[in-house]
Amino acid sequence: MISLEHLMQPPPSGQITSHESHGHLYSSEPSEAVMTTKNWLGQQFVEVTVGQEPVRTAHSKQEARDAFYAHKETAWQRVMFAYYEDGWEAALKEIMNSRTDGRILQAASKVASCTLKLLRIANKVQELLPSPKRTISSATSLAHGTGGSVVSVAWHPHTCTLAAVFCDDTVRVFSASYSITPLLKHRLQKSVTQIAWMPYSASQLAVGCEGGILLWTLDPVNVVTRPSGSCVMLLSHPSTTPVNALSWHPKGNLLACVGDSSSVLLVWDVGREVSEVAHCGRQDSISIVLWSPEGSRVFVGYASKTMRVFETQNWSYEWWSLDSPVQSAVWSANGHVLLFVTQEEPILFCIGFIDGEGVGGAKVAAQVADFTAKEVTLESSENVIVGGAVRQLAWDPRSERLAVIFRQTEYIALFHTSFQPSLHLAPGGFIRGEMGRIPVTASFRQNLASGAVLSVVWSSGQVQHIPMRYASREMARPANIAHSSLLSPHINHNISFNTSVAANISLVHRVPSLPTSPLIGGLFTSP
Amino acid sequence: MAMEELFTKEVLRWRSIRVLTCCLLFQLIGPMSWCITFHTISQGILNPFSILYNVLAMWLFPTRLAVPFVCFVVLSHVYNKSFTVSAWVPITRWETWRRFLSLSFFLKSCMIMLSCAFLTNFYVSLVNPDLPSILIPCQPEGALCNKRKAFILYMGLMNGAYYAYYYLMDNGNLLIPATVYPSRLQRVKSKISISKVKEAYNKHGPSMISFLILGIMLNLLNGKSSWTDGFVILDIPLMVTMFMATILWAISITFFNDIFHIFITEPIEIPLTSEEDINPETDLDSWRLSHALSSSGLLQLLAFMDLKTLAALEPRNFVRRSQIYAISQPGGHPRNWLGIMNPSLNLIRKFTDRLRRHNCPEEIPKVPVKPLDPSVASTDINKNAVVKAPTVTMKERLQKILDGLKKYPVFAYFLAELPDATNRSIFADALPVIWAVQAFGDLVSSSFTEDKYGVAQRNIPDILAAFLQLQKVVDGLSRGTISKRAGTSDSLPAEFKLRRALRSALRSALYTVTTTFGPSILEMKMSAEYQSKLQLYLDFKEG
């Protein structure tokens, strides 16, 4: 199994990764790196800047107390302030937390604890009733509050256009061919969780937010910098508001979305504004939804320790139990391999799928990479930590480069991936930004004929493009790949690195469910 | 046997039976169990075993299901006769009144009203058996009994009348096919939720004002007593029972409506080829996709849904799609391709012509009187062309008379065309066109890699021309009426949504084709206008 030890040394301090050429990552001074990127991308360089105007964090994400220094208060004062600021529920919590203070009676703390428990039960009952006013879960809004102005970016699937979400819940659209940067702002566009361009369309951008999905229509030849409210359409359903995640069908006619208030998977026919519940279960809310690139499967990651993959004909599913909730997942270009990471384990898992009746997923997910945090010595004899808990995975559209963004560390791990004949991970290197900057999110450009461009949003709000030039491998026939890799009993050697480091531990087990696939059963066994 | 008849007999009949079964099961598990439980508790019996015993007894001997069974059979009959796949848009006020005053509307409304009245009374009798049933006559001295009975009956009839108006006049009978088709159980489950109950109550449920008005009105109509006697019927048990019964009725009718939609609009898979292909002299109206595409109504809609599904670029459709690009042996004719292309392009072109005729009649090219020679034309796209009736002069005369009448304000009120009504009525029929556009966008792009014999590729210019013509007409219409501000509560009527969906489908289809073929698409023989339009698509400048 490949690990971070196999990757080359990160760039030295003071240098940032500028580009990849022939399999090697190169670094240079920041100004020089930008020049290199501009030279490499030429007319297709998209600069994400907001000009002179300041971008303030949205009111929903900031609190007045942040502006003041903390000072010592008595327990009663804390209770009183909690009551004034957040109501009596917060005051009860404060009483409960102050049991060790000595000034609050133990009895009062117990009463507060019991009252809070009753409140929780009441809230659960209330959850049965639909209510549009809910807050975004911490899992989905984790990209916010990183300090930078840009929160996330999304590349258009066919053009050199980049949409960037800012911390003030506005979206700006940057294009290489136009100097005008449309600003998308709407009164309903609050707590933006995800944006996605509609495939096979020049102009439709879906913005998932608190009130539902806002579908912006931007005329590509229009010179309006501030599209009006008539350019936006709201797709709202009580089961999926606020929106946690959304994903377009690769053809662009359907849009899957999930909400924070229930475990409903909803599919919109965007043109007709008609929605249908594809699945409603009894689990926790869904945090991730991902349509496979060929459109025949949908991955769904729950806030609880389960995940499901649906096939899109009859919407039957197979599900897997996990040790911790899914943090991020990506489909391979052919839709036959799903890579995912969980919130707690720094391990990359892989599940293979075969075509046929049902979902056709492997029973057990294999571990293919270990991202455990390690201390690495730089050229300058400086020791740095790399790896750890993963924030996001990003796989390029041809599935040849896999970027792994970590939550705490400054370095992005890059792997070269191929299917010859099975999934093969090779070390690429570490990508580094400016000193002290942590990567927030990353996205690969979608419409390149060869090579790749990785756009990284750093915690400073800066968006850096890293061009990667390499000879693209001829991809084998997808069906053959899946069969050859997954039907073999020697899975440990198929999913391996350099034939020496084998994936010999399998922890994630699929739970037998009614709509199982008869094709894969028993073929993919745990060692 | 005609294909539509076969569809009604073999498909719709069984689907209706499934709807009935599902609804009766729901009656047992839902409203009836609730009524029995409520009645048991209201008698002061709080023992859960007794309640369970009563409910189980009802489940094991469901003789009481006879009334809901009859009601739902009647409703099912009305639904089967009245459902439509395109929204009804009246062109003039007179058309609305004509429909409202028609015998068909009257008969169907009566059937719905009676079913609803009996169903409401059935729930009343379950919740509170002490209240009089409309089937059992009252004692001669029972004035209160008569009043209560009339109240129950009229309440049911009134709810039924409201529902009949919604169903028959307000497009309640419009079948909207779903976006995706999960299992039936999953779809039925998604229709049973607290939000759905709330929605049913808000839509068809009772209001206290209607209770009061009906109570007072009934008493006023009964002229012998003073008006204050009217409040006698507003006793608490009657009110509570009626309130509960009408809520249960609203839930039941909404559930029946949803279930009917779910089962009737289920997709069907129609074979591309059949045994008749081997022997073409047999029945030409056999169960084949090409014939279904040329039909009308629900069958045509489901056929286009099937075509859209098989055209989708998903691996599971590959085998079925390969039949489209196959050629007949012996002979080498692209029979399957032409079989689906002719009716689809006919539909798109007819739709374009309808829009053009109304919005830009000057652009319609003059068609030569000479009929097209089928041997010259590459495809028989005018197979379904409407033959003009010989009574043109009569129509013209009638039109002149109507135009003359429109000059008078009274007649103008009824006969004048409502704003944008014709366009709306045309777009109400757009769903099969949208699916045809989506399907052919996918089929053309999949032909890039799958069409071994080039059967589809020689018709690509025809298909693209049809798309671009339609897009030109649709884009030429004013957009003012179709926009709605995001966040406003009222939703647009179905025809407006379809108009927007058609524009979106056309763009997506053209982008799919241009993205797949790249600049080589410009090498096809097309007019300069269409070439320049395709260039915009290649550059992703068409929004």
* Candidate from A232, A276, A280 with C-beta closest to B189: A280
**Residue A186 touches chain B, beta carbons under 8 Å:** yes
Q: What residues contact residue B167 under an 8 Å CB cut-off, 6+ apart?
A: B82, B112, B173
Inter-chain residue contact A295 with B511, CB threshold 8 Å: no
Over the stretch B281-332, which tens digit does the pLDDT of each residue have?
Answer: 555 567 888 889 998 889 999 999 999 999 987 777 888 888 888 888 777 8
What pTM, to 2 d.p., does this model score? 0.82
Predicted confidence band at B530 (pLDDT cuts at 50, 70, 90)? very high
Q: Residue A138 has what pLDDT? A: 40
Predicted confidence band at B335 (pLDDT cuts at 50, 70, 90)? confident
Specify the range with the lowest mean pLDDT, choosing from A67-76, A163-172, A511-520: A511-520
* Candidate from A158, A230, A271 with C-beta closest to B483: A230
- CB atoms < 10 A from the CB of A356, how many? 15
Question: Which residue in A has a C-alpha nearest to residue B498's C-alpha?
Answer: A272
- Smallest CA–CA separation between B511 and chain A, in Å? 5
Over the stretch B228-241, which tens digit does the pLDDT of each residue have?
Answer: 555 655 667 777 88
> Which tokens is A253 given?
């006619």
**List of chain A residues whose C-beta atoms are within 8 Å of the C-beta of residue B187:** 276-277
Do strands A364-370 and A347-352 pair parallel, antiparallel, or not at all (unpaired)?
antiparallel
Per-residue H/E/C for A126-141: HHCCCCCCCCCCCCHH
**List of chain B residues whose C-beta atoms are within 8 Å of the C-beta of residue A251:** 312-313, 442, 508, 512
What value does the mean pLDDT of chain B take?
83
Q: What is the rounded distance in angstroms from the CA atom of residue B248 to the CA atom of residue B244?
A: 6
Inter-chain residue contact B543 with A222, CB threshold 8 Å: yes
> Which tokens is B214 given?
């009906």
Comparing B217 with B456, the larger pLDDT belongs to B456
- Smallest CA–CA separation between B451 and chain A, in Å? 18
**List of chain A residues whose C-beta atoms are within 8 Å of the C-beta of residue B434:** 271-272
Inter-chain residue contact B512 with A251, CB threshold 8 Å: yes
Inter-chain residue contact B316 with A355, CB threshold 8 Å: yes
Comparing A256 with A523, the larger pLDDT belongs to A256
Q: Residue B367 has what pLDDT? A: 58
**Residue A282 touches chain B, beta carbons under 8 Å:** no
**Residue A234 touches chain B, beta carbons under 8 Å:** yes
Q: Residue A207 has what pLDDT? A: 95
- Smallest CA–CA separation between A296 and chain B, in Å? 6
Q: Is the pLDDT of residue A27 over 70?
A: yes
The separation between CA B128 and the C-alpha centre of its own chain, rounded to angstroms, equals 38
Q: What residues contact residue A501 under an 8 Å CB cut-off, 6+ apart?
A: A1, A2, A3, A6
**Residue A233 touches chain B, beta carbons under 8 Å:** yes
Helix (H, G, I), strand (E, B) or coil at A73: coil
Q: What is the mean pLDDT of residues B118-139?
A: 81
Which of B492-497's residues contact partners 24+ apart within 8 Å by CB, and which partners?
Answer: B492/A273, B493/B87, B493/B171, B493/B424, B494/B87, B494/B171, B494/B174, B494/B176, B494/B428, B495/B87, B495/B89, B495/B424, B495/B425, B495/B427, B495/B428, B495/B430, B496/B424, B496/B427, B497/A271, B497/A272, B497/A273, B497/A274
Give, in order, the Cα–Cα distances in Å from A22 to each of A19, A40, A465, B102, B517: 10, 14, 17, 78, 30
Give, in order, the Cα–Cα distances in Å from A112 to each of A80, A97, A115, B213, B532: 14, 10, 5, 50, 73
Q: Is the pLDDT of residue B19 over 90?
A: yes
**List of chain B residues whose C-beta atoms are within 8 Å of the C-beta of residue A313:** 181, 316
**List of chain B residues whose C-beta atoms are within 8 Å of the C-beta of residue A295:** 312-314
Specify the range with the lowest mean pLDDT, choosing from A226-235, B458-467, B507-516: A226-235
Specify the range with the lowest mean pLDDT, choosing from A233-237, A395-399, B89-93, B376-380: B376-380
Q: Residue A97 has what pLDDT? A: 75
- Smallest CA–CA separation between A273 and chain B, in Å? 7
In the block, tokens 């359903």 appear at A237
Q: Is the pLDDT of residue A85 over 90?
A: no
Inter-chain residue contact A221 with B491, CB threshold 8 Å: no
Q: Residue A90 has what pLDDT? A: 81
Inter-chain residue contact B181 with A314, CB threshold 8 Å: yes
- Smallest CA–CA separation between A280 and chain B, in Å? 7
Over the stretch A284-308, which tens digit does the pLDDT of each residue have?
Answer: 789 999 999 989 999 999 988 899 9
**List of chain B residues whose C-beta atoms are within 8 Å of the C-beta of residue A315:** 180-183, 186
**List of chain A residues whose C-beta atoms are within 8 Å of the C-beta of residue B540:** 158-159, 202, 220
Q: What is the mean pLDDT of residues A130-142?
A: 43
Inter-chain residue contact B491 with A273, CB threshold 8 Å: yes
Phi, psi of B263 (to 5 degrees): -75, -40
Contacting A residues, span 189-218, partner chain B, CB-CB under 8 Å? 200-204, 211, 214, 217-218
**Residue A137 touches chain B, beta carbons under 8 Å:** no
Q: Residue B492 has what pLDDT? A: 79
Inter-chain residue contact B504 with A270, CB threshold 8 Å: yes
- Smallest CA–CA separation between B502 and chain A, in Å? 7
Predicted confidence band at A501 (pLDDT cuts at 50, 70, 90)? very low
Over the stretch A469-491, which tens digit does the pLDDT of each residue have?
Answer: 888 765 433 333 333 332 233 33
Q: What is the rounded distance in angstroms from the CA atom of residue B202 to the CA atom of residue B250?
A: 9
Q: Please, are residues A211 and A203 in contact by the beta-carbon 8 Å criterion? A: no
- Smallest CA–CA separation between B84 and chain A, in Å? 17
Q: Is the pLDDT of residue A65 over 60?
A: yes
Inter-chain residue contact A202 with B178, CB threshold 8 Å: no
Phi, psi of B80 (to 5 degrees): -65, -30
Helix (H) / strand (E) element for B33: namely: helix B33-42
Q: Is the pLDDT of residue B378 over 50?
A: no
- Smallest CA–CA separation between B283 and chain A, in Å? 32
Q: Is the pLDDT of residue A62 over 90?
A: no
DSSP class of residue A353 equals B
Question: What ipTM was assigned to the predicted interfaces of this complex?
Answer: 0.85
Inter-chain residue contact B180 with A186, CB threshold 8 Å: no
Best probe of the B interface among A204, A266, A273, A297, by most B CBs < 10 A, is A273
Predicted confidence band at B189 (pLDDT cuts at 50, 70, 90)? confident
Contacting A residues, span 237-276, partner chain B, CB-CB under 8 Å? 238-239, 250-254, 264, 267-276
Predicted confidence band at B504 (pLDDT cuts at 50, 70, 90)? very high
* Candidate from A129, A218, A315 with C-beta closest to B194: A129
> Which tokens is A47 given?
């600069």
Predicted confidence band at A132 (pLDDT cuts at 50, 70, 90)? very low
* Candidate from A211, A220, A355 with C-beta closest to B541: A220
Comparing A41 with B71, the larger pLDDT belongs to B71
Over the stretch A338-361, which tens digit does the pLDDT of each residue have?
Answer: 999 999 899 999 999 988 878 888
Comparing B276 with A360, the larger pLDDT belongs to A360
Q: How many CB pairs under 8 A join A and B?
A: 141
Best probe of the B interface among A269, A291, A300, by most B CBs < 10 A, is A269
- Smallest CA–CA separation between B316 and chain A, in Å? 7
Q: What is the mean pLDDT of residues A229-251?
A: 90
Q: What is the mean pLDDT of residues B476-491?
A: 62
Q: What is the rounded distance in angstroms from the CA atom of residue A518 to the CA atom of residue B83?
A: 40
Q: What is the rounded distance in angstroms from the CA atom of residue B225 to the CA atom of residue A56?
A: 73
Q: Is the pLDDT of residue B385 over 50?
A: no
Q: What is the mean pLDDT of residues A146-150?
A: 68
Q: What residues contact residue B103 under an 8 Å CB cut-off, 6+ apart?
A: none
Q: Residue B138 has what pLDDT? A: 73
**Residue A44 touches chain B, beta carbons under 8 Å:** no
What value does the mean pLDDT of chain A take?
80
Predicted confidence band at B488 (pLDDT cuts at 50, 70, 90)? low
Q: Residue A520 has what pLDDT? A: 29
In the block, tokens 């075993």 appear at B49
> To the nearest whole percent, how much of chain B has pLDDT over 70?
83
Q: Residue B482 has what pLDDT? A: 53
Q: Residue A173 has what pLDDT? A: 92
- CB atoms < 10 A from the CB of B329, how many? 7
Q: Is the pLDDT of residue B209 over 90?
A: no
- Smallest CA–CA separation between B310 and chain A, in Å? 11
Contacting A residues, span 370-429, partner chain B, CB-CB under 8 Å? none
> To the nearest whole percent, how much of chain A has pLDDT over 90?
37
- Smallest CA–CA separation between A397 and chain B, in Å? 16
Predicted confidence band at A222 (pLDDT cuts at 50, 70, 90)? confident
Comparing B280 with A208, the larger pLDDT belongs to A208
* Candidate from A234, A251, A479 with C-beta closest to B487: A234
